[in-house]
Structure 1
C-alpha cells in the first residue's frame, strides 16, 4: 500500500464500514429489506421519502463532477463542506498523534474537527501586509514537517480575510509534503474569485484535495450539499467511513435543479452582480471616518477594521442589520465581516455607518 492511502489511519485502511440496505445495489419490485414503512407519510405527497436515499446519488455525483471538471470517482458528496472536513480529520488523524494545521484567522470548523478528534492543532498565522493577509507557505511546510501534521487546511478565498492563494504555491507545498501530509484547499467562495479552481490539479497531485459547496454562489445553504474532490483511493475510504445516508433525497433533487442549465446561467449572472457590489461597497466603506481599513476580497464579503467596532456593530444591530463580529479572532480585535447584500441592503448598511454616533 502506498501513496495517499499511507495517510489514512492504519486501522481504517481496510475498514469495510456499514453496508446499508440501499448500498447493496439490489433490484426488485417489492422492497422489504430496509424496514421501511409500506405506506407514505401523511406529509409526503408522492411517498418518495419513505425510502432511504442513495448514499451517493449517481445523478448528483455526475452533475457535480461535470460542474467542477473532475471524474465521479474523485468526488464525495456530503452534508456541506463541514462533513467532509470532519471526515478527513477522523479518517486521517489518530488521536493525540497526527496533527491538523490551520492558518488563523480562518474558518473555525477546521480547529473544531481537530479538537473533537483529539488531534493536535498547529497554527501558522496569516501574515498581514500592504495587500492584505497572506499564507506563509515556508512556515507552513516547516511546521508540518516538524510537528507531525497529517492534514493542512488552506482556505481560498480565505474566510474571513478574503484573500486567494496561488496554485503554484499550493503545488510546491504539496510536493514538499508528499507522502506525509494531505493539503486541503477549501474553495467555498471560489465562484466569486478572479482565481481559478484547483480541482484540475488533483488528478496529478495525490496529496491534494479540494472542498466545494453549493451553499454560497448557488444559494443552497439550507440544503447542505458539499463536495470533496480528491484521489479516488482516498474517496473510496471516506465513503466507507461516511454515515450510511448522508444526502437527503429532497436536498439532492433541489441541488439537481440548481445545476440545470437555466439555473447555472442565473447563478453566473448573480455572481457578476455580487462582484460588482463588493467593489462598490468596499469603495464606499473606505470613505467612512470610522473605518480604518477595508481588505481586498475575492469572496462575497468584506473584512473591515473600525476605530470603534463595538459602536459600529451596535448601531447596525439596532437598525436590524446583522454582520459577523470578528473581534474574538486572532489579529482581528477591531474587525467586522460584512456579507455583500443587495444594492438596497448595502445602501442601508452604509447609511447606518454614516450616522454621527458611529462616525464620531
Structure 2
C-alpha cells in the first residue's frame, strides 16, 4: 500500500493542511526567547523552573524513547494526551461528518463511539459473540467485521486487544486477516492499552506488512502514569504528519514529559517489569479465589490488569463494596455482561478487600 493510497483515506480537505504554526514549531534553539509572548520569569512556585516557556509540540527525547520502547521509528510515533487524544484525532482526520463511518466490536472501550458521535460519523457495530470455550469466552467474527467494513463507508476499524471490558487479547491471525482484507479501504487501529499484560507479541510487528495498521499504546497502565496522560499512536509517517497538523499546539506539558522520560529510564523500566509480574500473579490468584465464592457465577480469563466477575446480584455487591470504601466498576450495561462487575488488580491488600466483599455478600445471602 503506497503513501498516496494511505492518504486517500484522509479527509480531502486535510491532506495538505499545515495546521497552526506555533512559535515552537517555527523556530527552536536560541538563547533569548522573544517569539512566543511568554513571561520572561518562571513562576514563583516549587518546581516552576522552565514552566514560563511553552513545551515542545512533540518532545523529541520522549518520542525517541517511546519509539525504542515500542519497536517503531520516531516519525511513526505521535504522543498525545492518553489514548483518548489519538482516537479523537484519527476520527476527525479520516471521517467526513455525516458521510464516513467508524466500526467497533462491542462490548468495547467507550471512547471510540464518543469520538464518532462528536464528529457525526456513523457507527457500525459488529458485536462480539459468546462462545462455549472457557479459555476464550468471547469471539470476534473476522468475516463479519470485513463484510461490514466493505459494505459501509467505514474509514476506521477499532480492535481493542486486550479488550476492555472483557479482558481478552485478539488472536494475531484475526488481526492479520482483517488488515489484509481492508488494505486501501480503512485504517485498522489496534488498541493495546493493556498490551504489557498479554502473552502474545504486539501488533506493531505487523506494520511492515500492513502500513494501514495503526497501534495505540499508553503509559497509563503498566507504567503507572495515568495522571501524566501519555499515550502513543504508532502509524505510517504520512498519517502521523496529518495528525500532528490538526492536534493542539502543545499537548504534552513539560512536567508530564519529564515524568515519562524518568519512567522510561532502565531502572524504572526494570521495576515496571517486576510490577507487571506481580499484577499478573495477583490477577490469577484472585481469579482462583473468586471462583470458589458462592454467588459468583464465573470469572472470565484476562490478558489485562483486571478481571470481569459474573455474579448473582452485581448491583447489590457494587453498593456493598462502595459502602465499604471499595470502588469496583459496574459493567452490567455492556452487551453480554449483564451480570458482571470489573475489578482492577491492586496490591495484595486491595485484592483481599475485593475478595472479602464477595465473600461477605455470599455469607449474608446464605
Normalised by the length of structure 2, the TM-score is 0.96
Find 2:49's aligned residue among 43, 47, 55: 47
Q: What is the CA–CA distance in structure 1 between the aligned matches of 2:297 and 2:273, rounded to whole Å?
A: 33
Report matched runs for 1:276-315 at 5 Å: 276-315=281-320
Secondary structure of the 2:83 match is: helix
Q: CA RMSD in A?
A: 1.2
Q: Deviations over 1:237-289 (max 9, x none)?
A: 11111110011010000000000000000000000000001111111111111
Find 2:86's aligned residue among 84, 88, 109: 84
Find 2:256's aligned residue among 222, 241, 251: 251
How far did 1:186 drift? 0.2
Secondary structure of the 2:227 match is: helix
- Which runs of at least 4 in structure 1 moved beyond 3 Å after TM superposition? 356-360
Q: What is the CA–CA distance in structure 2 between the aligned matches of 1:197 and 1:26, rounded to whole Å?
A: 35
Q: What is the CA–CA distance in structure 1 between the aligned matches of 2:242 and 2:41, rounded to whole Å?
A: 35
Equivalent residue, structure 1, for 2:187: 182
Secondary structure of the 2:174 match is: helix
How far did 1:2 drift? 2.0
Equivalent residue, structure 1, for 2:108: 106
Q: What is the CA–CA distance in structure 2 between the aligned matches of 1:127 and 1:224, rounded to whole Å?
A: 32
Contact 1:189-1:217 at 8 Å conserved across structures: yes
Structure 2's unaligned 5+ residue stretches are none
Report matched runs for 1:227-246 at 5 Å: 227-246=232-251
Structure 1's unaligned 5+ residue stretches are none
Contact 1:128-1:134 at 8 Å conserved across structures: yes
Normalised by the length of structure 1, the TM-score is 0.98
- 1:349 counterpart = 2:354: yes
How far did 1:82 drift? 0.3
How far did 1:343 drift? 1.0
Q: Deviations over 1:38-94 (max 9, x none)?
A: 111112545300000000111000100010011001000000000000000000000
Q: What is the CA–CA distance in structure 2 between the aligned matches of 1:192 and 1:39, rounded to whole Å?
A: 44
Secondary structure of the 1:150 match is: strand
- 1:224 counterpart = 2:229: yes
Report matched runs for 1:1-360 at 5 Å: 2-43=4-45, 45=47, 47-129=49-131, 130=133, 131-355=136-360, 356=362, 359-360=365-366
Q: What is the CA–CA distance in structure 2 between the aligned matches of 1:183 and 1:263, rounded to whole Å?
A: 32
Q: Deviations over 1:87-129 (max 9, x none)?
A: 0000000011110011111110000000000000011111111
Count how many residue pairs are aligned between Structure 1 and Structure 2: 360
Q: What is the CA–CA distance in structure 2 between the aligned matches of 1:26 and 1:252, rounded to whole Å?
A: 17
